[in-house]
């Protein structure tokens, strides 16, 4: 179901058998062109976000690249404007406050469950694990109506606690599945010798399983972090659109609604929502790829 992430990193040189012809110019030009094509939209956004508002509406952003030294065309004012008047600082903090607990909390709960599913015999184990795997692909749309109704009864609508719980639960099937795949592959000898030494399941879990599972936990954490950070739908449903509760995607959504044509604000706002995931991507590229690959069954 998930791709073998390990092979992504394996480098194999084809140079030995690759005919020289293949390294020819057309191929390389095609690859460079594709890469350029893929980057142009993002670059356009970034450049526009630091151009002055009049220039943005009167000339294409690519023209700024043609004469980059024209006086007064570069500015950080768009960012100042969007931060000062559109609540992006609050939204940024809200995004952090929503995302970090929603990433951290599921890990413990999932790890305990994954260990039990992998290495302890108990009745209905197979059935329960099949349920977890089945839940992997259930659309979140199936959860909203009843959960919101229940939240309304206990006063959790619009609270951070509500969205933490929701994101935790929605992330659990994937977390359990990933950690199970990893933990069940640990060598059996490890557990047998630990049992002979008199270690309880709990001790085995703490001292052996958790430390060994760090790569899988990291992969899940990155995926969940990105998923929650970039999520608009769950935030709209459980936090609502109130100015105090908005996360970055909601704030950007409101900005699009209110200032649809004001590209200097929109581009700066959009870049602010993207800066953390892009930083994660650039700093932790390998782990990021692992996380995306691991999490893509969702």
Partner 1 sequence: MAIESRDQTKVGPVRRFAPPLAAVLGLAVIGIGVSILADRNAATNLLAFIYEALGNTQGALDLRNGVGDQLLAKLLLGVVAVFVGVAGIWMLYVGASAIVGLLSPKWQGRILPWVFVVPAIALLTFFLIYPTIGTIITSFTVQTNGDPLAHFKALTSPAYLDLLRNNVTWLIVGTGGSVLLGLLIAGLVDRVRREALAKTFIFLPLAISFIGASVIWRFMYEWKPEAQTQIGLVNAVWTGLGGEPVRWIQEQPINTFALILIFVWLQTGFAMVVLSAAIKGVSVEVIEAARLDGASERQLFLRIIVPIIKGSIITVATTIAIVVLKIFDIIYVMTGGRNGTDVLANRMFVEFYEFFNDGRAAALATLLFIAVLPVMFINVRNLRRQGIGS
Smallest separation (angstroms) from partner 1 to the CB of 64: 11
Give which of 109, 97, 119, 95 is closest to 276, Cα–Cα. 95
Pick between residue 76 and residue 286 the one whose CB is nearest to partner 1: 286
Give the residue, chosen from 23, 80, 207, 258, that forms a contact with partner 1 under the rule CB under 8 A: 23
Minimum CB distance to partner 1, residue 110 (Å): 6
Instruction: Considering only the stretches 55-63, 65-73, 80-88, 210-218, report the one whose residues sit in contact with partner 1 under the rule CB under 8 A.
Output: 55-63
| 119 binds partner 1, rule: CB under 8 A | yes
Cα(116)–Cα(180) distance, integer angstroms = 9
Residues 159-178 that bind partner 1 (CB under 8 A): 159-162, 164-166, 168-170, 172-173, 176
By beta-carbon proximity to partner 1, the closer residue of 134 and 215 is: 134
232 scored as a contact of partner 1 (CB under 8 A): yes
Give the binding-site size for partner 1 (rule: CB under 8 A). Answer: 145
Rg (CA), the chain: 24
210 is an interface residue for partner 1 by CB under 8 A = no
CB of 178 to partner 1, least distance (A): 13
Is 83 near partner 1 (CB under 8 A)? no
Q: Could you tell me which residues are beta bridge partners of residue 74?
A: 51
User: Nearer to partner 1 by C-beta: 16 or 71?
Assistant: 16
Q: Which of 72, 154, 187, 283 binds partner 1 (CB under 8 A)?
A: 154
Q: How far, in whole angstroms, is CA 152 from its chain's centroid?
A: 28
**Alpha-carbon separation of residue 150 from 33, 94, 157, 218, 239 (angstroms):** 52, 23, 9, 33, 14
Among 199, 210, 212, 287, binds partner 1 (CB under 8 A): 199
CB of residue 281 to partner 1, shortest distance in Å: 4
- By the rule CB under 8 A, 254 interacts with partner 1: no
**Which residue of 67, 122, 185, 283 would you call a contact of partner 1, by CB under 8 A?**
122
For partner 1, the binding residue among 128, 186, 210, 212 (CB under 8 A) is 128
Among 88, 226, 264, 294, binds partner 1 (CB under 8 A): 226
Helix, strand, coil distribution of the chain in percent, nearest 5: 75, 0, 25
The nearest distance, CB 69 to partner 1, in angstroms, is 21
Residue with smaller CB distance to partner 1, 35 or 214: 35
Integer Cα distance of 130 and 127 in angstroms:
5
Between vectors from CA 253 to CA 249 and to CA 257, what angle results, nearest 5°? 170
* Residue 187 makes contact with partner 1 by CB under 8 A: no
∠98-86-254 over CA atoms, to 5°? 70
Quick one: which of 36, 32, 28, 68 has its CA closest to 51? Answer: 68
What single string gives the DSSP state of each residue in 39-86? HHHHHHHHHHHTB-HHHHHHS-HHHHHHSTT-TT-B-SHHHHHHHHHS
């Amino acid at each position: 179901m998930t791709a073998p992430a390990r092979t992504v990193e394996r480098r194999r040189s084809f140079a030995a058998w690759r005919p020289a012809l293949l390294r020819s110019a057309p191929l390389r030009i095609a690859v460079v062109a594709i890469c350029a094509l893929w980057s142009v939209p993002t670059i356009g956004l970034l450049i526009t976000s630091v151009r002055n508002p009049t220039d943005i509406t009167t000339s294409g952003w690519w023209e700024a690249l043609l004469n980059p030294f024209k006086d007064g065309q570069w500015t950080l004012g768009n960012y100042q404007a969007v931060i000062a008047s559109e609540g992006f600082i609050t939204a940024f903090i809200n995004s952090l406050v929503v995302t970090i607990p929603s990433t951290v909390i599921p890990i413990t709960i999932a790890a305990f469950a994954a260990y039990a599913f992998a290495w302890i015999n108990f009745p209905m184990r197979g059935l329960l694990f099949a349920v977890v795997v089945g839940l992997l692909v259930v659309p979140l749309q199936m959860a909203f109506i009843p959960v919101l109704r229940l939240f309304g009864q206990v006063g959790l609508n619009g609270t951070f606690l509500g969205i933490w719980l929701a994101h935790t639960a929605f992330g659990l099937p994937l977390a359990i599945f990933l950690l199970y795949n990893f933990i069940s592959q640990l060598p059996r000898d490890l557990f047998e010798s630990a049992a002979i030494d008199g270690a309880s399941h709990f001790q085995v879990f703490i001292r052996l399983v958790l430390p060994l599972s760090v790569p899988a936990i990291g992969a899940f954490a990155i995926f969940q972090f990105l998923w929650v950070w970039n999520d608009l739908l769950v935030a709209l449903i459980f936090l609502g659109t109130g100015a105090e509760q908005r996360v970055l995607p909601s704030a950007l959504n409101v900005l699009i609604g209110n200032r649809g044509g004001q590209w200097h604000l929109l581009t700066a706002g959009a870049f602010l929502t993207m800066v953390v995931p892009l930083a994660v991507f650039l700093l932790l590229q390998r782990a990021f790829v692992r996380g995306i690959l691991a999490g893509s069954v969702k």
